[in-house]
Structure 1
C-alpha cells in the first residue's frame, strides 16, 4: 500500500527544500513527501496521484506565488482531493489573505514564515492536519479503475471484458463526484468514456479490448512465430486442448478473442459436470483450466481475433485482424458458438444499455428490485434465471416453444419450478424493445397473436447458436449453418473430400484440411455439453500426435 502524501508548494526553492526537509525528518517513515515549485506543477502532480489511486493527507501551499497563488491552487486541488487537509504558508503581512483563505476554500490552518523551530510551529499544525485527515480518509484504490456511465454500451463492454478475464477493477460513474474527479485528472471529457485507469496512472480513453488487455498485463503478443500446436478458441474444448497439448510436450499456443471460458465461462452455475456434485460457476471452472494450461507451459493470447487460416506445405498459418500471423504444424479449431441476434425492432440499438447477450453477471447488482426478462429455453437460459432470481424482483423466461422440458435439463426445470419469483412464458416471443438511452419496455407476442407491453430494464438473450466460421470459407468444409464437418462425415460414398492430399481417411475430429482439427460446439453434429467439449479437446490432441508422427 502506498504511503499517504504530504504535498508542499512554494516557488522559493530555498523555502521549498526547507519545508520538505523538515516534513521528511518527522513524517518520512509513514508518509511520502512531494514538493512542487508552482501551483500548475502541483496540480499536475495531484492528477497523477489521483490516477494512480494514491492518497493525499495534507497540502501546504505558499500564498505568494506567481500565475497561481496558494488560495487559487487550494481551490482547484479540492476538486481532486476533497478529503485532503489544507494549510496556507504566509508572511506576517499576509494575515488578511489567510483569513480570506479560511472563508473561501476552507483552509484548516495557516502558518507564518519562518516556522523555526519546527517542533513548536510546524509539527503541531501538521499533526493536526494528519489527525483530521485520518478521521475522514477512505482506503486507497490500487486496482484498475473504470470511469463510465450506467447506460453506456462501451462502458459495459470494458467492464464485462475485465470481469470475464478475472481482472479486479472498481467502477465509478461520471454522475458521482469521484468519477468526475477521475475524469478531470485524466484530462478526459464524458464523450471519451469509458476511461480505464491502470494502477500506474495510465489513462486509456475509449480503449479497445486489445488496448485494455495490454495495459492490464494480459498477453496479447506471441513469444515466437512457430508452434507445434495452435488452438483457436478458449472455451472448454480449447482449454482442454491446451492442457493436454502442453502437458504432452507440444509447444502450444491458445488464441482467444475475448476471454477464456466462452459461453460456459458465463454460466452462473454448472451442476451436471462430472466431479462437482455441488456445482461450479463457469468462471471458476474455466479459470482453473486456464491456470492448469499455463502451469504446463501453454501460452495464452487474449483479445486477438483470428480472421484467416492459410495452408502452405506442412505449415498451417493463423492470421489475425491486424494482418500478422503465426504458423504451426497443426491447428485445433475450438471457436465454439455465439448467441444468435434477436431480430426485433429496437434490440440492436439497446445492446449494452439494458439488452445483453449472455449472462452479463456484472449487471447483477443493477437488477436489484427490478423485473428481468430472459429469452431462451436451453440450459444457459435456465442457469441465468436461477442466478438472477437471487437479485431481481422477478425473472421471466420467454420461451418460443410449448415447454421447457424439450430443451432444458430435468434438474434445471425442477429448480426453476421451485423458485417463487421465476415465471415461464411459453409460446411467446419478444417482438420489440423500447427505450431511449436504455431499455424501458418489451412488446411480447403469444402464439395466438395477442400482444402485451411490459416494463423491463434488463433483457438477457440466449437463443440459438451461430458458429461464426465465415473466415474459414473456401478452405474448410462446413454445413449450411457454418458448423465444420469432420472425420467420417467428410467421406461420402467412399470418396474423400476434394483437395485431400493424404492416403488415408480424415481422422474422427479432423477437418477437410489435413492437420486442422475441430473440437467442441463448432463441430457439426457435436454434443453441446461442457464435458463432451473437454473430451473432444483432449481427443483432438491425441489425433494431432498421430498426424505429426506421419510427417
Structure 2
C-alpha cells in the first residue's frame, strides 16, 4: 500500500518549498508530500492520484492565488477526496476569508503565515488533522489491481493504458508482501505477471491491451461492417474529425491502436490552446474530446490497430489486427508520429525499465526526490520537465541544439528558466545508459567539446524527433523524403496529377494520392506540429469528405 498523501498548494515558490520541506521533515516516513504551484496544477495532481487509487489525508491551500484561490480549490478538491482534511494558509489580513472558508467548504483549520516555528504553529495543527482523518477512515477507491515486477515494460504498458483511459488502479510489485499475497490469492505465480485483478474478481494473466480494454468496458470491435467515415488514429486530429463527423450525420468510427489522446494526451500541461486561460492537461483535453465524440454518436475503438488499407471501387477498406475488415466511403489517416529511438548504447535494453518514450505519468510517484533526465528541446520535453519538477529533486533537460528558442514556445521557456529544479544543458546528448536490470546511470556527452560525464539517474524520458507512422500503408500513397504523407497541391507535379489518379478533378486539400483517403495532423507533410492545428485539420477534413461524397 502506498503512503497516504499530504498535498500543499501555494503560488509563491519559496513558500511552497518551505511548506513541503517542513512537512517532509516530520511526516516523510508515513506520508508522501506533494506540492503544486497553482490550484489548477493541484487539481490535476489530485486527479492523477485518484486514478492510481491512492489516498489523500490532508490538503493545505494558500488563500491568495491567481486564477483559483484557496477556497475555490478546496471546494473542487472535495469532489475528488471528500474525506481529506482541509486547511487554509492565510495572511493576518485575510482572516475574513478563513471564516468564509469554514462556512463554504468546511475547512478544518486556518494557518496564519508565517508559521515559524513549525513545532508550535504547524505540526500541532497537521497532527490533529491526521488524527481526525485516521479515526474517520478513508476507504480505498474500488479499482483494478495490477501485480508485476517493478521494472517490467509489460507492466508499465498496462498501467499506462489504464491511467490514460481514466480507469483507477492499484499497483503492487511482486517484491513486496502484499503483491505476493495477491498473486497467491488469485492462483497465479510470478511467471504469470503482469497479473490484472478487476474489481469484479476476474484474473488476467499477462494480458494484451485489447484484453484489458475488453475487461474494463472499452469497445474494441466495430459494431458495423460499413461506415461513411473511418478515422485511423485517436489524437487531436482524429478526435476533432470524430466530433465533427458524428455531429454532421456521418456514420463515423475511430480506430486507435492504444488509447485515445496520442502524444498530446501525454502532455502534462498545454497552455497555448484556445479557450483554456489557465492551461489544461493533455489527458483532460482528450478525455473531454473523447466523451464529446461519443455523445454525438461516433464509435470509438481502442487497443485495436489498423494494419492494412485497400481500395475496391468506391469502397475504402481497412484491415484490423484481429483480421476483421471494415469498409467505408472515405478514410481519414490521423496516425500522428512516434518519438525516434534514442541512439545510445544500452538504451533499447532499458525501455520500460527506466527509459521511457514520451511522458509517463504513472512513473511520477517513483520520481519523488530523484534525479530525472529528459531528452529533447520541443514543447513536449519542456512540459515534461515542468511536470516532473513537481516531485523530482532535480530535472536535467538535455538538448542537442544550442538553445531552446528554435523549437520551444516562449511561455514554456520562461517557465523553465524560472524553475530552480530544472537544469537545461544545451549541446548535450546521451551517449550510453547503464544498469543492472533497470536504469541506474547514464553518460552525457557535450557535443561542442566531446567531453563526457557520468550521471546517476533512474528515469530517462525521451522526446526527440518525429517519425511518421506510415510503414503499414500501401505504396500508392505518395510520401515526402521523410515518409510524411503528401496531400492536395503538393501532389501536383508541374500541374500533372498523381499517377493512377482517376477523377477529373484535382485532389482536394488534405486528400492523398488515393481519392477518398484524407490526412490530418502530424502525419501530413509540412503540417504545423501543434494541437490546435491538428484539431482544425480534423474538422476541415470532414468538410472535404462531404465534398468528396458529392463529387468523388
**TM-score scaled by structure 1?**
0.75
Indicate how the Cα distance of structure 1 residues 380 and 137 shifts in structure 2: closer, same or farther if over 3 A, else same.
closer
Q: Secondary structure at the match of 1:238?
A: helix
**Which residue is 1:344 aligned to?**
344
**Which residue is 2:296 aligned to?**
296
* Pairing 1:422–2:422 present: yes
Cα distance between partner residues in 1 of 2:486 and 2:285: 28
**Which residue is 1:162 aligned to?**
162
**Which residue is 2:511 aligned to?**
510
Displacement of 1:137 in angstroms is: 9.4
**Which residue is 2:318 aligned to?**
318
**Which residue is 2:200 aligned to?**
200
Displacement of 1:482 in angstroms is: 1.2
Cα distance between partner residues in 1 of 2:542 and 2:244: 7
Gaps of 5+ in 1: 1-52, 54-133
**Which residue is 1:96 aligned to?**
none
Could you tell which deviates more after superposition, 294-303 or 195-204? 195-204
**Which residue is 2:530 aligned to?**
529
Q: How many residues align?
A: 419
Mapping of residues 275-286 of structure 1, within 5 Å: 275-286=275-286
**Which residue is 1:40 aligned to?**
none
Q: After superposition, what is the alpha-carbon deviation per residue over 1:45-93, rounded to whole angstroms, capped at 9, x for unaligned?
A: xxxxxxxx9xxxxxxxxxxxxxxxxxxxxxxxxxxxxxxxxxxxxxxxx
Cα distance between partner residues in 1 of 2:138 and 2:548: 60
Q: After superposition, what is the alpha-carbon deviation per residue over 1:379-433, rounded to whole angstroms, capped at 9, x for unaligned?
A: 0000000000001000000000000111111111100000001001100100101
Indicate how the Cα distance of structure 1 residues 404 and 135 shifts in structure 2: closer, same or farther if over 3 A, else same.
closer
Indicate how the Cα distance of structure 1 residues 493 and 253 shifts in structure 2: closer, same or farther if over 3 A, else same.
same
**Which residue is 2:463 aligned to?**
462
Q: Secondary structure at the match of 1:540?
A: helix
**Which residue is 1:371 aligned to?**
371
Q: Secondary structure at the match of 1:471?
A: coil
Mapping of residues 300-449 of structure 1, within 5 Å: 300-447=300-447, 448-449=449-450
* Pairing 1:547–2:551 present: no
Cα distance between partner residues in 2 of 1:137 and 1:446: 53
Give the 4+ runs in structure 1 shifted more than 6 A: 134-138
Indicate how the Cα distance of structure 1 residues 141 and 535 shifts in structure 2: closer, same or farther if over 3 A, else same.
closer
Cα distance between partner residues in 1 of 2:167 and 2:245: 26
Cα distance between partner residues in 2 of 1:401 and 1:274: 29
CA contact (8 A) 2:309 2:474 kept: no
Indicate how the Cα distance of structure 1 residues 138 and 494 shifts in structure 2: closer, same or farther if over 3 A, else same.
closer
Q: Secondary structure at the match of 1:231?
A: strand
Mapping of residues 10-29 of structure 1, within 5 Å: none
Cα distance between partner residues in 1 of 2:298 and 2:451: 55
Cα distance between partner residues in 1 of 2:353 and 2:205: 19
**TM-score scaled by structure 2?**
0.74
RMSD: 1.6
CA contact (8 A) 2:236 2:534 kept: yes
Cα distance between partner residues in 1 of 2:537 and 2:224: 27
Displacement of 1:141 in angstroms is: 5.8
Displacement of 1:203 in angstroms is: 0.5
* Pairing 1:185–2:185 present: yes
Displacement of 1:166 in angstroms is: 1.0
Gaps of 5+ in 2: 1-52, 54-133
Displacement of 1:170 in angstroms is: 1.1
Q: After superposition, what is the alpha-carbon deviation per residue over 1:467-511, rounded to whole angstroms, capped at 9, x for unaligned?
A: 120111413111121100000000011100001110000001100
* Pairing 1:263–2:263 present: yes
Q: Secondary structure at the match of 2:469?
A: coil
Q: After superposition, what is the alpha-carbon deviation per residue over 1:323-361, rounded to whole angstroms, capped at 9, x for unaligned?
A: 211100000000010101001111111111110000101
Cα distance between partner residues in 1 of 2:359 and 2:313: 43
